[in-house]
Structure formats: structure tokens, C-alpha cells
Amino acid sequence: MMKKTASLLLFSALIGLGGVALAQTMDSIVGTWKTFDDETNQPAALVQISEKNGVFSGVITKVLDTSGSPTCEKCTDSRKDKSILGMEILSDLKKQGESYSGGHILDPDDGEIYRAEMKLKDQGSKLDLRAYIGIPLLGRTQTWVREK
């Protein structure tokens, strides 16, 4: 009986920790996000956002829209003509209050690098990305959806 009670307590603790981990994940941009094409609003790619030493970056882990080029033909930096799959497109974001800013995002379709700001919404299930040149007013916003 004692062994069964100890096992039940351990199981309950593990479930509780899992809930805490899930809540922490939903409060962070770390995870996998589905992006959408600006023109067609169709799923475009999956981006894995990770954090290292308080700095967030994102890599394309899966291309969903295969109608475009599989390489970054219009890139002007070291990513020129490299495969989009596995490419880091988001870099240098830092959490500042409720948002993430100070970073950059590459649009593989036009090869442009924009400043980036992000903010979680809908209890962490969506992410608003503001990409801009100069000031945030001169930009566009995309909504990414968290993959389960």
C-alpha cells in the first residue's frame, strides 16, 4: 500500500510539473510556429524559435509552401543561394516586458532583412510579428500560430 501511495504521489508531482512547464512554454516565444504567406494567407513554413542566454533566434524547420524557390536567391548576405530549409531567419530578439524586440528577420522571398518585434497573444497560441524598416509604423504585421 505504501509503495502504491508513493507511486501515485510521484505521478501526481510529474503531472503537476508538466503543467508548469506547459504554462512556461505558453508564456515564451520558444517553440515551433506556423507562418503564412502574406498574399495567399496559406501556410508557408514552420519556424523553430529557441533561446540562448536571453537571445532568441528562429530557423525554418519545414517548408509548407513548395511553390517558391527552395533557396534564398534574392539574399544579399552569406545566405545567398542557400537552402531555405534549416536557414536562420530570425535573430537577436530579446524579451523586453511583454514583447520581444531588437532583432532582425529575413524574408527569403525578397531577400530583405527587416527589424523585428514580436508579442504573444491568445494565451501564447499566436504570435504577432512586426517587421519594419526604420520605425515600426513603416512595416507589416504577420500572425504566426503555435504548433502543438
Q: Where are the domains of the chain?
A: 29-146
- The phi, psi pair for 100, rounded to 5°, reads -125, 125
37-61 confidence digits (pLDDT tens): 988 999 999 999 999 999 999 999 9
Beta bridge partner(s), residue 119: 99, 128
| Predicted TM-score of the model (pTM) | 0.81
In whole angstroms, what is the distance from residue 60 CA to residue 115 CA? 18
Rounded Cα distance, 17 and 48, in Å:
23
Q: For 60-108, what is each residue's pLDDT tens digit?
A: 999 998 888 899 999 999 999 999 999 999 999 999 999 999 999 999 9
Burial class (CB within 10 angstroms; exposed 0-12, middle 13-18, buried 19+) of 138: exposed
Domain 29-146 has CATH 1.10.3470.10: no
pLDDT digits (tens, 9 = 90+) for 99-137: 999 999 999 999 999 999 999 999 999 999 999 998 777
DSSP bridge partners of 106? 113
